[in-house]
């Protein structure tokens, strides 16, 4: 069967991102870079799967009373996203960080999601993979490999493998979110809230099967864990994911997810500044490649007056 026969949906036209939306995407990746440190701190006290269940449960309790119900046709897709993103991606990422993987290393490993997302969007949604986009991906992934070239990574292979699986699931979840939009508009905060009912139950079951100490963790929270939890809920979830869902509703998956290649730069800086992790020459050179990869894709798409300033 030809690819055209298996993907009847025509490739959408590429809409250039406005400068304001470019800045919004940069804010998101900066917040997410710091989120690896917050999760690292929180999972030192709270079991990781239980922590993910708290994240989605608290968001649902805060947001749902002020939001409308989703349409019935959207419920199956919401359930799928809840399992892929909530249980799969977040569960595996938090577990990986609890296994001892550095925040900076995890912020690099998770970038496997960028090429995965582009390929998934091409295969499932029929989105275009332009030469410029492929070049940006290649530059970015070279940067990821360079940043990951530190010998310390060899001592964290188990957690790293879990992180790579988390990245693959995040990529597919972005395609699911794009498909959800075809069943009617769903605001970013509605998506933040209504994933909860579909993933909290499975996460709690997995937590109580494979983890312990949940009650003690809640009873003995210290200030660092409380601040980390507030960052995870307020910054990384309400603000960053809300903005991310907003951008996915307006641009192609490939356009938006390319910015994830900047997360390692922010994650490494956060790890160095807040956790005392080291940053070597390979990491710095890799960061240059990553930024260049994003620039190759996006600078061409800026409005004409801004392009002429380059």
Q: Is residue 7 part of a domain?
A: no
Q: Average pLDDT of 257-262?
A: 80
60-69, Cβ contacts within 8 angstroms, sequence gap of 24 or more: 60/193, 60/194, 60/195, 60/196, 60/197, 60/200, 62/193, 63/189, 63/190, 63/192, 63/193, 64/193, 64/194, 64/196, 67/187, 67/189, 67/190, 67/193, 67/194, 68/190
Domain-located, residue 10: no
Q: What is the pLDDT of residue 202?
A: 96
**R_g over Cα of the chain:** 19
Per-residue model confidence (pLDDT) at position 61: 94
Tell me: the pLDDT tens digits for 218-256?
A: 998 899 999 999 999 999 988 998 898 889 888 887 788
pLDDT attached to residue 99: 84
For the chain, the domain total comes to 1
From the list 69, 123, 127, the residue with the least C-alpha distance to 258 is 127
Reply yes or no on whether the pLDDT at 215 is more than 60. yes
Q: Is residue 252 part of a domain?
A: yes
Please, which pLDDT band fits residue 17 given cuts at 50, 70 and 90?
confident
**Residue 271 covered by a domain:** yes
Answer whether residue 278 shows pLDDT above 80: no
Percent of the chain with pLDDT over 70: 85
**Mean pLDDT over all residues of the chain?**
82
Per-residue confidence (pLDDT) for residue 155, from 0 to 100: 65
For the beta carbon of residue 208, count every other beta carbon within 10 angstroms.
14
Per-residue pLDDT tens digits for 94-150: 998 888 777 877 777 777 777 777 778 888 878 777 787 788 778 878 877 776 676
Domain of 269?
15-305
pLDDT tens sequence across 279-299: 667 767 877 787 787 777 666
Indicate whether 257 belongs to any domain. Answer: yes
d(CA 77, CA 194): 11
**Residue 207 pLDDT exceeds 80:** yes
Structure tokens at 254: 């490939």
Longest dimension (CA), the chain: 59
Residue 74 inside a domain? The answer is: yes
For the ranges 6-20, 81-95, 248-262, the lowest mean pLDDT is seen at 6-20
pLDDT at residue 3 in the model:
43
pLDDT band for position 13 (cuts 50, 70, 90): low
- The per-residue pLDDT for 306 is 34
CA–CA distance, 124 with 27 (Å, rounded to integer): 28
The candidate with the shortest Cα–Cα distance to 209, out of 99, 101, 91, 40, is 91
Mean pLDDT in residue range 188-212: 93
Cα separations (Å) of 103 from 69, 112, 192?
36, 16, 24
Q: ∠ CA(120), CA(123), CA(128), 5° rounding?
A: 90
Q: What is the rounded average pLDDT of the residues 24-51?
A: 93
Four-residue CA torsion sign, 63, 248, 126, 107: negative
238 occurs within a structural domain: yes
pLDDT at 150: 64
Task: Please state the length of the chain.
Answer: 310
Which residues, 6 or more positions from 63, have their beta carbon under 8 angstroms from its beta carbon?
189, 190, 192, 193
What is the per-residue pLDDT for 23? Answer: 94
Residue 73 has pLDDT above 90, yes or no: no
131 or 307, higher pLDDT = 131
Which sign, positive or negative, has the C-alpha torsion 80, 82, 83, 85?
A: positive
State mean pLDDT over 260-282.
80
pLDDT at residue 15 tops 80: no
pLDDT of residue 195: 93
Q: Which H or E run contains 115?
A: helix 113-120
Is residue 167 a part of any domain in this protein?
yes
What is residue 308's predicted lDDT score, i.e. its pLDDT?
36
């Amino acid at each position: 069967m030809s690819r055209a026969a298996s993907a009847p949906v025509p490739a959408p036209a590429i809409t250039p991102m406005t400068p304001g939306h470019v800045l919004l995407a940069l804010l998101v990746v900066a917040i997410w870079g710091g989120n690896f440190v917050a999760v690292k701190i929180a999972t030192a006290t709270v079991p990781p799967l239980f922590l993910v269940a708290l994240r989605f449960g608290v968001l649902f309790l805060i947001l749902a009373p002020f939001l409308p119900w989703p349409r019935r046709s959207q419920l199956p897709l919401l359930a799928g996203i809840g399992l892929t993103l909530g249980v799969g991606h977040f569960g595996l990422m938090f577990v990986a960080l609890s296994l001892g993987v550095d925040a900076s290393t995890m912020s690099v490993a998770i970038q496997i999601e960028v090429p995965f997302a582009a390929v998934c969007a091409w295969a499932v949604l029929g989105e275009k993979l332009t030469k410029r986009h492929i070049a940006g991906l290649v530059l970015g992934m070279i940067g990821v490999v360079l940043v990951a070239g530190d010998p310390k990574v060899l001592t964290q292979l188990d957690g790293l493998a879990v992180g790579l699986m988390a990245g693959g699931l995040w990529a597919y979840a972005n395609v699911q979110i794009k498909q959800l939009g075809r069943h009617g508009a769903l605001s970013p905060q509605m998506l933040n809230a209504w994933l909860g009912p579909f993933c909290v139950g499975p996460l709690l079951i997995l937590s109580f099967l494979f983890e312990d100490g949940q009650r003690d963790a809640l009873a003995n929270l210290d200030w660092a864990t409380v601040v980390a939890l507030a960052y995870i809920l307020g910054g990384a979830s309400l603000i960053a994911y809300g903005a991310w869902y907003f951008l996915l509703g307006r641009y192609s998956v490939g356009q938006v997810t390319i910015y994830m290649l900047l997360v390692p730069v922010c994650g490494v800086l956060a790890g160095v500044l807040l956790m005392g992790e080291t940053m070597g020459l390979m990491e710095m050179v890799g960061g240059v490649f990553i930024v260049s990869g994003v620039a190759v894709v996006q600078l061409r798409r800026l409005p004409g007056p801004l392009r002429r300033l380059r």
